[in-house]
Structure 1
Amino acid sequence: MQQTAHLGTGMGWRPEIAEAVERMPGLDWVEAVAENVCPGHIPDSLVRLRERGVTVVPHGVGLGIGGAERPAAERLTALAERAEALGSPLVTEHIAFVRAGGALTASPRLEAGHLLPVPRTKDSLDVLCEHVRIAQDALPVPLALENIAALISWPGEEMTEGQFLYDLVDRTGVRLLIDVANLHTNHVNRGEDPCAALDELPVEAIAYVHVAGGFERDGVWHDSHAHPVTQPVLDVLAELASRVSPPGVLLERDENFPEPEELEQELQAIRRTVAAGAARRLLPATPERAAELVTVGRTPTGAERAPTEHVTVGRPSGAPIGAHASPATGADPRTTTTATATADPASPEGDTGTGPDSPRQRLALAQAALLSALVAGTPAPEGFDRQRLAVQSRALTGKRADVIAKVAPELPAILGDTYRPSFFAYASTRPMTGGYRRDALDFAEHLLLDGRPQDADARRELSDWWLERSGPAPVSTHPVARFMRRARYTLIGR
């Protein structure tokens, strides 16, 4: 694995705070959502930042590399084009699935509109490793993958998050984007110890680190990216920095943007936390220091370990990626056996197949059943926490409504206070099968065919909006358009 470039301290670039980001003192790099950047029309703010020597990294959200289908060639091409247009040293994506169904399951294709966790199983890992290799071959720069936050857990998982990520790196050489806020989220929502995950991670594979805010409600942590960074998240960052010097650390903020001074204060807190973690990492290794760390509930790592101390972690301390065997026993110290992919002997190495009962099809069926329960109201798959599924389902619908409001701001303006309840009622029986713009049109069409809004002026305005955006088919030939034309003439008098 090549040495990861040093990035420094960064900020998530968003159009709403572009000017503030440009003025931030001491900013080394920025990250932009890949799908929001057009290679032929790079925003002027990003152009100016690049001219000043600020690194720009494209961060993808729609690839769905953890899904059952192989990564779409056009999505990989789009990521590659953005990396080249921005002169980026790497691109990043998420270990997640965002769509399911389709040919592999002989069921309708569904879109989640959100990042959903993959099961930490051998089947899932086999499929993911194949997808990572496909992506690596298609991209002109290294790929780094991010751990995600989750509200739900898959039943029957075979690995911890640290073990899953360790094997992924071991088998593919992919880099990692570690989100410490997501580690905290999974601690609250799934009872997973972030320190244990850090102990099992191949920290030398970290490309950079995300830090973001959120909030807790009714025992559930919501990774909102719209609230200040909390102390527990900074504590996880300090733990990571006490184990390794991260090449880069970046603050994410996606909504409810505060004044620039507040964002700069958060960046300063991140810098102080990383420095404090580094100071702990550099303390001498003594029995007293080891005892102190054990007292506070953290496993000593690296230079902090006393020479006589024995600690069982995900792999031997200092062992390179690929060196699973324990020097003492010759056995893998982890509790799972996932080092070799099971592939059809007649298939190319690493090919997980598409036939009946192949790892790919098993994963496809499992993900389709889960996503259908979340967005289409079908029964919960066996083994899932139904209450948590309900929370996740409401969260998906809420995010869907929020994105539609951004993609089509005219809709909440026309519908007013009825927008959100109307959308939730619509979404409860109509899962998203295309993009958000199609979803916005379908929502408006649903309301109009149902005779809503009740206010005639609002209905006329919504009808005009839909007709202007309903696609290339001539209005005279579109059946819904013809229906609404007739309805407007008879009901509205136009």
Structure 2
Amino acid sequence: MSNTPQLGIGIGWRPEIADAVEALPGVDWVEAVAENLCPGHLPDSLVRLRERGVTVVPHGVSLGLGGADRPDAQRLRDLAERAEALGSPLVTEHIAFVRAGGALTGSPVLEAGHLLPVPRTWDALRVLCENVRIAQDSLPVPLAAENIAALISWPGEELSEGQFLAELVERTGVRLLIDVANLHTNHVNRGEDPAKALDELPVEAIAYVHVAGGIERDGVWHDTHAHPVTRPVLDVLAQLRSRVAPPGVLLERDDDFPPAAELAGELTVIRETITATAGPATTAPGPNIKAEPGSETEAWATPPAPAADSVPATGVADGARERLALGQTALLSALVAGAPVPPGFDPRRLDVQSRALAAKRADVIAKVAPELPEILGAGYRPAFLAYAAHRPMSAGYRRDALDFTEHLLIDGRPERSAARRRLTLWWEERAGARPPRRATHLVRVARAALMGR
């Protein structure tokens, strides 16, 4: 893919470190979370960076390319608008699902609030390929898809991560954003060999690489983006560099931001890892792909390039979307709504993932509505986690913050009258003229029950 832009060494731009990013030496480009940008009112820091010739790439987190539904047209328009406003050479999203339910299952839509893994099955691959093609047709610049970190594994998977990515590229021509921290995470959590994945995936399709920190607790690796980059992650980066010279490498940091000097030090280590590791300028391996059931290709043979219509652009046949929807809805219901663990999943790992999702949800609400932890003090986190245990998110974080506040006020909390008055005022300013009462809550519950029949 000779037309892939050469980006260099970059860092994830976040408002909390905007000044530091502008001052860091040797930053060739930055990546910004697409959903946090308003095209008509770009942050001054990004405007200044662009005026200096620094490339800005929008990085989407809410499209859900791996979900059972086709990508939402408005989300695609929003992503395209941000790419055009930033003059970006490409946009990126994740190979993940972020919501489930809805029309395909006849159940309420559930939001994960985070990236969840797609089963590496032929059904999921067909759906993902069609979704990627829809996104490619809707965007003004090339799309690159990112591998994600996972705490859990799907039962009955039919391809390895490298094989799944190779098939995706083969069928759609999409570029790849390879996160080496996520390869390390999947090594610890799911026993997957990063070197095997790198051998199997088409490294010539890589648009750029992510590097990030994490932490291991009780044998589980958490991809936090809030800790320094570890040596094992840098080792995976070195393995990748021995196979190909990536067009770009980017440091991600999303929380617990260190001083600028520490960020500069991590960028230096990343640069040294890239330059010190000998490797080819480009490679074009022929990965071994397991044959799709029903094909004439012998298992584990290297298949020819599929025909252009091997994954129909007009629709996935054989009920693949419906089957994927049922599986993803059952899993997400167990994770966020207290439903039974679906057959074949590890209950302990699902419990870890469920608690991680709730914790992340509490953290994001604290950022979206910082007044809530200020008003509630030390009681904020336990109160929110108790609320989230039985109330899945269905309409985004801002609505979630309002629903949480409404829940507290209906229950007569907080107990301190001054705090309750402040919470009521906060709710009134954002949701309505008067706070909800218990009777309002009972009417809503009854209405929801009738609608669910």
| TM-score (normalizing by structure 2) | 0.91
Once residues 435 and 93 of structure 1 are traced to their aligned partners in structure 2, the CA distance between those partners, rounded to angstroms, is 18
Determine what percentage of the aligned residue pairs are the same residue: 72
Once residues 303 and 350 of structure 2 are traced to their aligned partners in structure 1, the CA distance between those partners, rounded to angstroms, is 30
- CA drift of 1:271 comes to 0.6
Rg larger in 1 or in 2? Answer: 1
Contact 2:35/2:60 (CA < 8 Å) preserved in 1?
Answer: yes
Q: Please provide the CA RMSD for this pair.
A: 2.5
Once residues 42 and 136 of structure 1 are traced to their aligned partners in structure 2, the CA distance between those partners, rounded to angstroms, is 24
SS in 1 for 2:243: coil
SS in 1 for 2:127: helix
SS in 2 for 1:267: helix
CA distances 1:172-191 after superposition (whole Å, capped 9, x unpaired): 00000000000000000000
Once residues 399 and 343 of structure 1 are traced to their aligned partners in structure 2, the CA distance between those partners, rounded to angstroms, is 40
Contact 1:8/1:249 (CA < 8 Å) preserved in 2?
Answer: yes
Once residues 366 and 335 of structure 1 are traced to their aligned partners in structure 2, the CA distance between those partners, rounded to angstroms, is 29
- CA drift of 1:51 comes to 0.6
Once residues 341 and 152 of structure 1 are traced to their aligned partners in structure 2, the CA distance between those partners, rounded to angstroms, is 33
- CA drift of 1:26 comes to 1.3
Aligned to 2:386, which of 418, 425, 432?
425
- CA drift of 1:276 comes to 1.9
One-letter identity of the residue aligned with 2:50: R
SS in 1 for 2:45: helix
Q: Is 1:451 aligned to 2:434, yes or no? A: no
Match of 1:442 in 2: 403
Match of 1:334 in 2: 300
Contact 1:313/1:333 (CA < 8 Å) preserved in 2?
Answer: no
Contact 2:409/2:436 (CA < 8 Å) preserved in 1?
Answer: no
One-letter identity of the residue aligned with 2:356: A
Greater mean alpha carbon deviation, residues 333-342 or residues 222-231: 333-342
SS in 1 for 2:53: coil
Aligned to 2:360, which of 399, 403, 410?
399
Match of 1:351 in 2: 315
Once residues 46 and 299 of structure 2 are traced to their aligned partners in structure 1, the CA distance between those partners, rounded to angstroms, is 46
Q: Is 1:462 aligned to 2:426, yes or no? A: no
Match of 2:104 in 1: 104
Contact 2:30/2:56 (CA < 8 Å) preserved in 1?
Answer: yes
One-letter identity of the residue aligned with 1:400: R
Segments of 5+ residues of structure 2 without an aligned counterpart are 442-453
Match of 2:126 in 1: 126
Once residues 178 and 215 of structure 2 are traced to their aligned partners in structure 1, the CA distance between those partners, rounded to angstroms, is 19
Segments of 5+ residues of structure 1 without an aligned counterpart are 283-300, 304-311, 317-323, 325-329, 485-494
- CA drift of 1:249 comes to 0.2
Residues 337/433 of structure 1: CA separation in 2 closer, same or farther (3 Å cut) = farther
Match of 1:487 in 2: none
Aligned residues: 436
Once residues 231 and 138 of structure 1 are traced to their aligned partners in structure 2, the CA distance between those partners, rounded to angstroms, is 39
SS in 2 for 1:118: coil
Residues 381/410 of structure 1: CA separation in 2 closer, same or farther (3 Å cut) = same
Match of 2:287 in 1: 314
- CA drift of 1:302 comes to 6.3
- CA drift of 1:463 comes to 1.1
Match of 2:376 in 1: 415
| TM-score (normalizing by structure 1) | 0.84
SS in 1 for 2:41: coil
Match of 1:9 in 2: 9
Match of 1:164 in 2: 164
One-letter identity of the residue aligned with 2:326: L
Match of 1:89 in 2: 89
Match of 1:390 in 2: 351
Once residues 241 and 458 of structure 1 are traced to their aligned partners in structure 2, the CA distance between those partners, rounded to angstroms, is 55
- CA drift of 1:2 comes to 5.1
- CA drift of 1:464 comes to 1.2
Once residues 363 and 469 of structure 1 are traced to their aligned partners in structure 2, the CA distance between those partners, rounded to angstroms, is 37
One-letter identity of the residue aligned with 1:161: E
